[in-house]
């Protein structure tokens, strides 16, 4: 078993960078429309939803640390880093108020972004955000909540390990890749990490992390719904993952995973805020043998972005 502390409250922050940010941000947010308008109005001014104007003379964080997870967002990254003023949205809410609290806060940030012509960013993941038409009412972990981004394939050209499809020795040809989630802490969970991954297996490793994160989050909210008296939670170190967990990450879209499914991962306690994801004890070889072998469903190697919705019958 693995035990970790569960906080009573968590804090999450979003920022909107713009050329001009008015001092009366509350007034701007009171004009918000959409499914979160009533929530924004009801929480404004409380610890559940605070909004402040900051400029370069008052910042206690560095805008240069905010990055674009996708190449097509590089211009937004530069605009955020070069902006002179910011609107910062903070939500400090009970753990039992998640995920609604963070969704309301991000909906407020998206509204400010539209009103100010600015660029929103998630200060927990450290990424600029691509606003949707509106924050959807149903929580979907794939909606930029996890900070899940792949490192440059082949370590920006520095890695010379052979591809396993051409050379069997390439399965363990390198150990360049380390992946870590950023964002689970705002839901009261430790972050997840997988290490010593060879460059060709990075997408499979990322999808293992995604699926494990979604499963842990589902179980976590079920545990919280029981009203536990204590603030320490115990979970089994052996975590079975199924096709439903992978699909749940994407919001329930029906992505078929070729067998075997379910598959097992082993969680290891590193710190109270970080768990390692690894093969189960009965799988021989390295993490790369596991990722490239027959233990994982084939779909883990294929899906980087959200699959297209399944067409509905007429």
Question: Strands (DSSP E) along the chain, which ranges?
Answer: 2-5, 9-18, 50-55, 85-94, 119-122, 127-128, 177-180, 191-197, 232-235, 238-241, 263-271, 274-278
pLDDT at 314: 29
Q: Average pLDDT of 305-309?
A: 61
Mean confidence (pLDDT) of the chain: 90
Residues 198 and 170 sit within 8 Å (Cβ to Cβ): yes
Choice among 53-57, 84-88, 211-215, 256-260 with the minimum mean pLDDT: 256-260
pLDDT at 48 over 90: yes
Tens digit of each residue's pLDDT (9 = 90 or more) over 183-202: 999 999 999 999 999 888 89
d(CA 142, CA 243): 15
**What's the average model confidence in pLDDT over 91-96?**
95
Q: How confident is the model at residue 310 (pLDDT cuts 50, 70, 90)?
A: very low
Sign of the dihedral through C-alpha 180, 184, 185, 191: negative
Name the band, by pLDDT with cuts 50, 70 and 90, for residue 307. Answer: low
d(CA 191, CA 34): 32
Does residue 37 surpass a pLDDT of 60? yes
241 phi/psi in degrees, rounded to 5 = -120, 135
Q: Which three-class secondary structure state does DSSP give residue 311?
A: coil
Judge whether 79 and 17 are in contact, CB under 8 Å. Answer: yes
Environment class of 295 (CB within 10 Å of its CB; exposed 0-12, middle 13-18, buried 19+): middle
pLDDT band at 2 (very low <50, low <70, confident <90, very high): very high
Report how far Cα 126 is from the mean position of its chain's Cα atoms.
Answer: 11
Nearest to 144 by CA among 189, 195, 110: 110
Q: Is the pLDDT of residue 311 over 60?
A: no
Please, which pLDDT band fits residue 254 given cuts at 50, 70 and 90? low
Mean pLDDT to the nearest integer, 1-7: 94
Q: Per-residue pLDDT for 312 more than 70?
A: no
Torsion of CA 21, 120, 214, 210, to 10 degrees: -150
Whether residue 308 is predicted with pLDDT greater than 60 in this model: the reply is: no
- Per residue in 227-253, pLDDT tens? 887 889 999 999 999 989 998 999 886
Q: How far apart are the first and last CA of the chain?
A: 49
How much of the chain exceeds pLDDT 90, in percent? 66
**Is residue 65 scored above 70 in pLDDT?**
yes
What pLDDT score was predicted for residue 162?
Answer: 76
Collapsed DSSP state (helix, strand, coil) of residue 8: coil
Model confidence at 161, pLDDT cuts 50, 70, 90, reads: confident
């Amino acid at each position: 078993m693995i035990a970790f502390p569960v906080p009573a409250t968590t804090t999450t922050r979003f920022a909107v960078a713009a050329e001009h940010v008015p001092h009366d941000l509350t007034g701007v947010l009171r004009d918000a429309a959409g499914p979160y308008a009533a929530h924004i109005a009801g929480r404004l001014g409380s610890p559940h939803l605070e909004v402040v104007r900051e400029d370069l003379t008052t910042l206690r964080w560095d805008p240069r640390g905010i990055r674009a997870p996708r190449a097509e967002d590089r211009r937004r990254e530069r605009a955020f880093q070069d902006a002179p003023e910011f609107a910062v949205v903070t939500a400090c809410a009970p753990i039992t108020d998640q995920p609604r609290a963070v969704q309301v806060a991000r909906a407020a940030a998206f509204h400010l972004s539209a009103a100010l012509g600015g660029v929103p960013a998630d200060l927990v993941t450290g990424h600029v955000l691509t606003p949707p038409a509106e924050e959807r009412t149903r929580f979907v972990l794939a909606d930029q909540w996890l900070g899940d981004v792949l490192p440059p394939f082949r370590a920006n050209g520095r890695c010379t390990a052979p591809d396993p499809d051409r050379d069997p020795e390439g399965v363990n040809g390198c150990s360049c890749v380390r992946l870590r989630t950023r964002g689970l802490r705002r839901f009261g969970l430790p972050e997840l990490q997988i290490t010593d991954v060879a460059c060709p297996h990075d997408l499979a490793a990322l999808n293992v992390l995604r699926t494990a994160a979604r499963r842990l989050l589902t179980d976590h909210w079920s545990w919280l719904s029981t009203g536990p008296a204590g603030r320490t939670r115990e979970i089994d170190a052996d975590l079975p993952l199924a096709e439903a967990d992978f699909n749940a990450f994407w919001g329930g879209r029906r992505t078929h995973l070729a067998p075997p499914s379910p598959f097992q991962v082993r969680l290891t306690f590193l710190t109270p805020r970080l768990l390692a994801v690894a093969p189960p004890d009965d799988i021989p070889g390295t993490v790369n043998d596991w990722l490239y072998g027959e233990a994982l469903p084939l779909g883990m190697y294929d899906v980087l972005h959200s699959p297209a919705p399944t067409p509905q019958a007429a």
